[in-house]
Amino acid sequence: MNETILNTGDDPVYSRKVLEMLTVANEYCLFLEKADDYTEEELLNFLQKIAPLIYLKSVLLPEIDVTDDTAVEHYVNEEQWEALFNLLYNKFGEKDQFYFVDLHEKSHNDPIKGSLAECYTDIYQDLKDFVLLYQNPLKTFKENAVKECKRLFESRYGYRIINAQAAIHCIQFPEDDREMIF
């Protein structure tokens, strides 16, 4: 059977969960690629809404057995990463910096300085690579795209989403506006 012919059947590579993740990832990437066209407020509003959706769709990705683990490519290069980072950094301005506690560190009592631009650019890199790799007509590339996306979610961008989401929540709902309950 020719591998380029799609036979979706019950194959998890073509499942609804994967296609929904692909849709959300693509929307995220396309929006960030046009971030210069949006105000800081529009950008923050978009990220506030799409980040939890990315997290949810990522955690629902199925386990994939790959037939050829060498069918992996990375598309976002350092120059593209840096251009997006600088764009977002300039958009966020003073709001770019935030602090979080890294629970993976042994001394997780000390806050660590984070950057919204860095978090969202890293997420972009992982998701853009997923989208582009999945577009390859060969099934082995699609398998690797899903497997690598799931792996990167678990080891890297899932944690970045959580940290950046907390920072955006504080930006969108300043402490002055929140009722403190203790």
- pLDDT tens for the chain, 182 residues long, are 344 444 456 899 999 999 999 999 999 999 999 999 999 999 999 999 999 999 999 999 999 999 999 988 899 999 999 999 999 999 999 999 999 887 776 666 788 899 999 999 999 999 999 999 999 999 999 999 999 999 999 999 999 999 999 999 999 998 765 555 44
Report if residue 60 sits inside a domain.
Answer: yes
Residue of 66, 69, 79 whose CA lies nearest to 125? 79
Residue 43 · residue 28 · CB < 8 Å: no
Report if residue 181 sits inside a domain.
Answer: no
Report if residue 6 sits inside a domain.
Answer: no
Looking at the structure of the chain, the number of domains it has is: 1
- Which CATH number covers residue 21? 1.20.120.1550
**pTM recorded for the entire structure:** 0.89
